[in-house]
Chain A
C-alpha cells in the first residue's frame, strides 16, 4: 500500500511554439517520499510541474493521481485535488497584505464575510511554524524577495495536501531558513505527504531527498535512489558530459594584484532603517564580496552604492569625484552596472526579446537618440549568448518564454556587455545550474582581470569566498568587518566573524 505511487505521469510531451520542452517524460512520486527533479537550466523541470498542476495542458501523456486519471485545467483545481505548489518565481500579489497572501482563497470567515482578526491570528501562527516573524498586516511589497519566498512556502505548506511541490524554494534563502524548511519537510514526510523538490543546490538535494529523476533537454534520463547516485555521476547525467569544470571551479580568483588607486570609496555611507553608515573601498580589478545572513543588509548596501536607494548620510566617491544626486541613471552613465536580485519586478521585460533585453542597458547609456548599430548589437548578443550558454540560443525569443535560470543569464548579460567600471551583482547565480554557475564565475573572474571592479553578493558563502579578493561581512544591517587575508577567505571564518562581532546581542 505505502509503495503505491501517489502521482504517476507517463509519456508526458509538451511543445511550446518551436520548442519541445518535454518529450515523453515519465515521472513517479511515491507516498511519503521526497523526490528531486534534477536537470540543467531549461531541462524542463518547471514545465513538468506546470503540466502536473494544470498551468499547461500536456500535448500527450497520462497523469494518474492516487491511481485515478486526472487532468487539471488550473492550479486552483490541482489544489482542490490535493496538490499544493510553490512555483519557481515567487507568485504572490504584493498589493495585498502578508496575511491575505498566506490565506487567499481560504480566508477564515464568519458567514460570508472574512474574519480579518482570525485571519491575522492564523497567519501569525503559520509564520511562527516556520520561524519567521513579520507584520502580517503590512503589504507584502514591504518585504524582500527572500521573505516573500518564505511566505509562499508557508502558504503552500498550510494547504493540507497529499502532494507538495517546491520548485527552487531555497534560491534566495540562507542556511538557517533552509534548515527550517528541511525540518518542516521531514515532518511532513513522516505524516505521509509526498514532496517534489527542485533545486540547483546539490548539497540540499543530497541532504533531504530520497530519490531523484534527472531530465536533460526535455527527455527523461532516469530515476535513482539518492544513495545510489554519487554527485559526480549525477552531474554527468544532468549535463550529458563529464565535467572537468568542477575541478577548475575550486580554484580561487585572488591571484591578481589590484591596482592601488581606489575606484569607489564610501565614507560613512548609510541610510536610516536600512544600513548603518559604513566605509568601503573598491579598486579596479578587484572582486569584493558581501557576506551576511538574510536581512543583514547585503542588498541594501549594494543599492546605496548603485544609487538605487538614496543615502541619507555620508559620501560616495567614484574615481575621486564626489557623487551628488546619485541615481541609477547617472550611475549607469558613469559606468556602474547594477544587476538586481529580483529579476521579475526590477529586471526583465517579459515581452521583449532576449536580444532587446540584453541591449537595454547599453541603449540607455547611449541615450535614446543614438541606437546601437545593428551589426554591433547582433555581434554582442551572440557573443554573450554563447559565453553564458543561454538556451535556446535564439536572440529573438520573448524572454518570458525562457526557463528561470536562462532569464537570469540574460539579465547578467545585459550588464556585462556594457563593460562597466564597477559591476554590482546581487545574487547573480540564483537558480542557475551547476555547469552554468561555473561559467558565470569564470566570466566574473575574466572581467575582473580585465580591470573591472566587481561587488558580488551571494547567499552561498562558498561562492563568495571562491571569487572574492576581499569580503565585507555584514550583520544586523551593519558592516562589521572586512576580511582581506588569504587565510581568512573561508566560510568558517565568515561565520565566526558574524557570530563573534555580534555576539553581545
Chain B
C-alpha cells in the first residue's frame, strides 16, 4: 500500500502501437502482389520504367492526394480540389496566352490564389461551423464554373521553353535504353511535396495538431491547442496542393482543358483511404497515400498491359478495394474499442 500502484496495460503495448500500421501494411502487400502478378503475366512489366511512369502520369494526383491527406487526417474533406486544379491550369493559360503575363508570375499567382482560397474555405468551415462537405462542394461548382467561363475549349500554352522544363527527364541507372529509368521534373516536384508533407505531419507542432484535431476536436480545444489555426491551415495546404497540381498538369499536357480533373477529388479521397487513412480523422500516414496512389496507378497500368479489358475495370476494382479497406478500418477500430478497458 505504501507504494503507488502502477497499472500494467492489459495487453502488450507493442501490438497496440503496431495496430496503426495494419492498413498501410495491407496496402503495401497489395502493391507487391500486383507488381509480381504483372511481372509474371507480362514480360515487359519488369522494366523499372513501369514504376517510374506511375510517378509521371499520377504526379498531379499524388500532390493533390497529399493535400487531401492533411484534410482527412484533421477529420474534414475537400471536394473542391479537382475544380481548383482545372481552374489553376486554365488561369495559367489565360494569364500567359491572353494577357501575356510571364509564366513564372502566372504560376506564382495561381499558387498564391489556391492557398488563399483554401484559407477562406477553412475559415468558413471553422468560424461558421459549416460542414466541410458542403463548403467544399460549393468550391467544386464555383471553380469549375469559373474555369469554363475562362474558356470552354482546350487552350495550348505558349511559352513552350518554360513548360518544357517540367518534362525534362533525368536518367537513372543508365536510362530507359540500358534497363534503367528516367523521371521528369514534375515527378521530382511530387516527391518533394511528399517529403515536405511527411516532415510537416510528423515533426512539427502543426502536423501533430492535425492528428490531435482529427482525434477529437473538442479535446484538442480543451487541451488549449490552436484548433482554429490547424483547421484553417489544412484547407490552405489542400488549396495549395490543388493549385500545384494544376501547375504540374500544365507542364504535363502543355495545355489547359476546362474539363480536366472532373472527379479527381474522388480519386484523391480513394487514394488516401486505400493508403490507410481513416475517413473520420486522426489516424493515417502520408506515405500510405503514396502507396494508395501507386495502387490506383498500377491498376490502370495492368489493364493497359492486358489490352482487351475496358479501362472501366480500373474503376470497378478501385470500388471493390475501397469497400474492402473501409471494412478493414471498421474492423480494426472496433477491435480497438474492445481492447480498451
Residue positions of A touching B, CB distance < 8 A: 55, 74-76, 78-80, 85, 87, 91-96, 100-101, 104-105, 107, 109, 112-114, 116, 131-135, 137-139, 141-144, 146-147, 155, 174, 176-177, 180, 271, 273-274, 293-297, 299-300, 303, 308-309, 342, 345-346, 477, 495, 498-499
Contact = CB atoms under 8 A, between A and B. Distances in A.
A177 to B, nearest CB: 7
Nearest to A74: B221
Interface residues on B, range: 35 or more
Contacts of A55: 221-222
Given A139-B17, A308-B338, A495-B1, A113 B204 contact: yes
Contact of A114 (B205, B226, B282): B205
A146 B341 CA distance: 10
Given A92-B219, A96-B212, A274 B225 contact: no
Interface string B123-156: 0000000000000000000000000000000000
Interface in B2-29: 3-13, 16-17, 20
A104 B230 CA distance: 13
Contact of A95 (B6, B7, B8, B283): B283
A101 B215 CA distance: 11
A300 B341 contact: yes
Given A104-B208, A177-B4, A293-B5, 18 more contacts: A74-B221, A75-B223, A91-B222, A93-B211, A95-B211, A96-B211, A96-B212, A100-B208, A100-B212, A105-B224, A135-B13, A137-B17, A138-B17, A139-B17, A147-B7, A294-B7, A309-B341, A499-B1
Contacts of B226: 76, 105
A75 B121 CA distance: 24
A46 B286 CA distance: 39
Contacts of A100: 208, 212
Nearest to B220: A93
A138 to B, nearest CB: 4
B177 interface: no
B100 interface: no
Contact of B9 (A142, A299, A303): A142
Interface of B: 1, 3-13, 16-17, 20, 199, 203-205, 208-209, 211-212, 214-216, 218-228, 282-283, 336-341
Contacts of A147: 7
A296 B215 CA distance: 29
Contacts of B339: 142
26 contacts: A74-B221, A74-B228, A75-B222, A75-B224, A76-B225, A80-B224, A92-B219, A96-B215, A100-B212, A104-B223, A104-B225, A107-B205, A109-B205, A113-B204, A114-B204, A132-B4, A139-B17, A141-B16, A141-B340, A142-B9, A144-B341, A273-B11, A297-B10, A299-B341, A308-B338, A345-B340
Contacts of B7: 143-144, 146-147, 294-295
Contacts of A297: 10
A143 to B, nearest CB: 6
A142 B16 contact: yes
Contacts of A293: 5
Nearest to A132: B6
A93 B341 contact: no
Contacts of B221: 55, 74-76
A342 B220 CA distance: 19
B90 to A, nearest CB: 35
B10 A114 contact: no
Contacts of B220: 93, 104
Contact of B222 (A87, A274, A303, A495): A87
Contacts of B1: 176, 495, 498-499
A303 B341 CA distance: 8
